């Protein structure tokens, strides 16, 4: 489906709904294609997240940890 930016602004929820159902919406400005709106694959959240796993063994309170980090910044 090809639409212009003005049409997208006026009916955004309709096009987001269409994209969520798998339809690809190409967006143009002044007759030239500039963007594409499509659905994305849902990200599964695992309980064992690699990034936040570093905090698993830390028993300190987050507020205390941030306070300790900021102590070095006092001028």
| 8 Å CB contact between 3 and 18 | no
Residue 60 included in any domain: no
The CATH number of the domain holding residue 16 is 3.40.1620
Residue 25 included in any domain: yes
Is residue 27 pLDDT above 80, yes or no? yes
Structure-model confidence comparison of residues 49 and 72, the more confident one: 72
Structure-model confidence comparison of residues 16 and 63, the more confident one: 16
Residue 27 included in any domain: yes
User: What's the total number of domains in the chain?
Assistant: 1
Mean pLDDT over the full length of the chain? 83
Residue 33 included in any domain: yes
Q: Length of the chain, please? A: 75
Rounded Cα–Cα distance for residues 75 and 47 (Å):
40
Residue 9 included in any domain: yes
Is residue 55 pLDDT above 70, yes or no? no
pLDDT of residue 75: 59
Domain, as residue range, for 16? 2-37
Q: Could you give the C-alpha distances from 13 to 7, 18, 50, 53, in angstroms and in order?
A: 11, 9, 35, 37
| 8 Å CB contact between 42 and 18 | no
Overall pTM > 0.75: no
pLDDT of residue 72: 72
Residue 75 included in any domain: no
């Amino acid at each position: 489906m090809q639409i212009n930016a003005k049409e997208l602004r006026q009916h955004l929820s309709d096009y987001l709904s269409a994209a969520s159902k798998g339809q690809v919406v190409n967006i143009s400005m002044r007759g030239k294609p500039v963007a594409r709106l499509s659905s994305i694959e849902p990200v599964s959240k695992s309980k064992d997240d690699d990034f936040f796993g570093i905090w698993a063994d830390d028993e300190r309170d987050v507020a205390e940890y941030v306070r300790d980090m900021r102590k070095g910044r006092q001028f």
